[in-house]
Amino acid sequence: MLHIVLVEPEIPGNTGNISRLCAATGCELHLVKPLGFSVDDRYLKRAGLDYWHLVKIHYHDNFAQVMELYKDHTFYFNTTKAVRSHADVRYQPGDMLVFGKETAGLPDAILDINRDNCIRIPMVDDARSLNLSNAVAIAAYEGLRQLQFPGLR
């Protein structure tokens, strides 16, 4: 299955929606601290509805920890600064789809050393970005489609 990595997410509703997506698809969710909210936040819980028992969530103190724990996995860094489309990647089980915080995206320090694995969701030139939970859904479902929706009906 795929892994969704949120680096320093700020908005509880987005993370709740992404949690629900992970519950419905079997993707594992990784939350990289610091989080911009408490995991007890009512908006987070509300957005995830009653799916929390279906989500496998990992908490990490920093992104370097994720890279070390999953060094045998392929990481794809979602950013509006990339040239390659998310649909041009050939996803494999266990791939890590990485997303940055809502207000700033992924830090340049992460992007600079991972340029070859940076991907973007195509959109018109005048659009700055998509909502984080929408972007995660688009990328995740493209990966799942390529993997022929394993375990999904």
The 10s digit of each residue's pLDDT in 29-74 is 999 999 987 877 566 666 556 777 889 999 999 999 999 999 999 9
Q: Which residues are annotated as a binding site for S-adenosyl-L-methionine?
A: 100, 121, 129
Q: Report the alpha-carbon angle 19-124-29, nearest 5.
A: 15
Residue 78's DSSP bridge partners are 119
The 10s digit of each residue's pLDDT in 114-141 is 999 999 999 999 998 999 999 999 999 9
pTM of this prediction exceeds 0.85:
yes
Q: Which residues are annotated as a binding site?
A: 100, 121, 129
Which domains can be identified in the chain, with CATH numbers? Answer: 3-147 (3.40.1280.10)
Strand-pair category, 3-7 with 28-32: parallel
